[in-house]
Structure 1
Amino acid sequence: MRPKKNPQKDLNKKSGMFFVIGLLLVLGMVYTALEWKTFDPIYNIDVAMNDIDPSIEEEAPIFQLEVTPPPKPPVLPTEIEIIEDDDPFEETEIIAIEVTPDTEVVDPTDFEVIEEPEEVKVNWITIEEVPVFPGCENEKDKRACFNDMMQKHIRKNFRYPEIAQEMNIQGRVNTTFMINNDGTIGTIKKRGPHDVLEKEAARILSKLPKMTPGKQRGSAVKVSFAIPITFKLQ
Structure 2
Amino acid sequence: MRPKKNPQKDLNKKSGTFFVIGLLLILAMVYTALEWKSFDPINQIDVALNKVDDSIIEDAPIIELKATPPPKPKVLPIEIEIIEDDEPIIETEVIASEVDTDTEIVDPSNFEVIEEPEEVKVIWTTIEEVPIFPGCESAEDKRACFNEMMQKHIRKNFRYPELAQEMGIQGRVNTQFMINNDGTIGAIQKRGPHDVLEKEAVRILSKLPKMTPGKQRGSAVKVSFAIPITFKLE
Report the TM-score range of the alignment, normalised by the length of the smaller protein: 0.5 to 0.7
Q: Structure 1 counterpart of 2:214, which letter?
A: G
Size of the aligned set, in residue pairs, is 162
The amino acid across from 1:124 in the alignment is W
SS at match of 2:148: helix
Q: What is the aligned partner in structure 2 of residue 205 from structure 1?
A: 205
Deviation at 1:110, TM superposition (A): 3.2
Question: 1:118 — aligned with what?
Answer: 118
C-alpha distance 154-111 of structure 1, shift in aligned 2 (>3 A): same
- Counterpart Cα distance in 1 of 2:231 and 2:196: 11
Q: Which AA in structure 2 matches 1:223?
A: V
| Structure-2 change in CA distance of 1:109 and 1:83 (3 Å) | same
Scaled by the length of structure 2, the TM-score of the pair is: 0.62
Name the SS of the counterpart of 1:188 in structure 2. Answer: strand
Question: Which residue of structure 2 aligns with residue 153 of structure 1?
Answer: 153
Match of 1:165 in 2: 165
Aligned to 1:130: 130
Distance 2:182 2:105 in 1: 45
Q: Which residue of the partner structure matches residue 95 of structure 2?
A: 93
Secondary structure, in 3 states, of the residue corresponding to 1:150?
helix
Q: Distance in 1 between matches of 2:108 and 2:165?
A: 69
Aligned to 2:179: 179
C-alpha displacement of 1:82: 1.6
Name the CA shift for 1:212/1:89 in 2 (closer, same or farther; >3 Å).
farther
For 1:135 and 1:116, locate their aligned partners in 2 and report how far apart those are by CA, in whole Å: 33
2:69 counterpart residue number: none
Distance (Å, rounded) in 2 between the aligned partners of 1:115 and 1:135: 36
Equivalent residue runs for 1:188-199 within 5 Å: 188-199=188-199
Distance 1:206 1:85 in 2: 63
Counterpart amino acid of 2:205? L
- SS of the equivalent of 1:173 reads strand
- One-letter amino acid of the counterpart of residue 87, structure 2: E
**1:90–1:144: structure 2 CA closer, same or farther, 3 Å change rule?**
farther
CA 1:92 to 1:213, structure 2 compared with 1: closer, same or farther past 3 Å?
A: farther
After TM superposition, list the pairs within 5 Å mapping 1:78-89 onto structure 2. Answer: 80-84=83-87
User: Counterparts of 1:47-58 in structure 2 under 5 Å?
Assistant: none
- Equivalent position SS for 1:223: strand
Question: Which residue does the alignment assign to 1:30?
Answer: none
CA distance in 1, matches of 2:88, 2:160: 67
1:25-81 C-alpha deviation (Å, 9 max, x unpaired) = xxxxxxxxxxxxxxxxxxxxxxxxxxxxxxxxxxxxxxxxxxxxx9x868545x642
Give me the whole-angstrom Cα distance separating, in 1, the residues matched to 2:133 and 2:223: 13
* Runs of 5+ unmatched residues, structure 2: 1-73
Distance in structure 2 (CA, Å) of the matches to 1:205 and 1:231: 15
Shift of 1:119: 0.6
Q: TM-score, normalised by structure 1?
A: 0.62
Query: Within 1, Cα distance between the matches of 2:190 and 2:223?
Result: 17
Please state if 1:220 is matched with 2:220: yes
- Counterpart CA distance in 2 for 1:154 and 1:95 is 64
Aligned amino acid, residue 222 of structure 2: K
Q: Secondary structure at the match of 2:146?
A: helix
The answer for the alignment partner of 1:42 in structure 2 is: none
In structure 1, runs of 5+ residues without a counterpart are: 1-69
**Residues of 1 paired with 2:195 and 2:176: CA distance?**
16
